[in-house]
């Protein structure tokens, strides 16, 4: 009986829903350090993600050291990731999808010249402006943390391909006072 229960739990986590603990302050105020979320692993096989979705994913190799995949102007976001993915898992929000023309001013996202409504972010007064727009490649997502001043994200290591996504975070289950949907 115990072996069946353990097998079911492992199967569910491997293929359906995976728990994930928030490792850093990059998603505050939406998600706090140590808060736990559930990640839908099935959606990555059937759906495309939209701006605003919160994803768990593997960043490009070198993301921990802010490595971009190509040489680019320091006035633009990184347009391409390194070719290999890291073994680390990050959690960030999709701010642009393939085909979007993106630039960042004052930590705020502009797509096709229009400032996006982002009521969920913690603004950053000291964030570097990246006024030269890039086009996000098809099949990629440009990821940013909600805490714009404390997030290492696609601004420095580039957009991520869909197949590096583990799944979308859809609910919080810990601590008890923060249980809910995302």
Q: Read out DSSP for 34-63?
A: T-EEEEESSGGGT----TT-EEEEPPBTTG
The model carries a pTM of 0.90
Mean pLDDT of 131-146: 97
Express each pLDDT in 89-117 by its tens digit: 999 999 999 999 999 999 999 999 999 99
Task: Enumerate domains of the chain plus CATH numbers.
Answer: 17-181 (2.10.109.10)
* Tokens at 92, concatenated: 């960030």
* Position 41 pLDDT exceeds 50: yes
Task: Work out the number of other CB atoms within 10 angstroms of the CB of residue 38.
Answer: 19
- Active-site positions read 26, 92
Residues 30, 172: Cα–Cα separation, whole Å: 11
């Amino acid at each position: 009986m115990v072996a069946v229960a353990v097998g079911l739990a492992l199967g569910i986590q491997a293929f359906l829903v995976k728990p994930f603990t928030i490792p850093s302050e990059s998603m505050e105020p939406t998600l706090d350090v140590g808060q736990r979320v559930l990640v839908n692993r099935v959606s990555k096989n059937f759906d495309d993600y939209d701006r605003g979705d919160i994803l768990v994913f593997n960043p490009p190799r070198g993301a921990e050291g802010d490595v971009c995949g190509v040489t680019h102007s320091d006035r633009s976001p990184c347009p391409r990731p390194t070719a290999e993915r890291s073994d680390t898992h990050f959690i960030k929000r999709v701010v642009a999808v393939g085909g979007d023309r993106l630039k960042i001013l004052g930590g705020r996202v502009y797509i096709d010249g229009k400032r996006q409504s982002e009521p969920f972010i913690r603004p950053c007064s000291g964030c570097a402006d990246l006024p030269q727009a890039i086009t996000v490649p098809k099949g990629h997502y440009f990821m940013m943390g909600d805490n714009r001043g404390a997030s290492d994200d696609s601004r420095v290591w580039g957009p991520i391909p869909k197949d590096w996504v583990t799944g979308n975070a859809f609910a919080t289950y810990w601590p008890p006072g923060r249980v809910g949907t995302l």
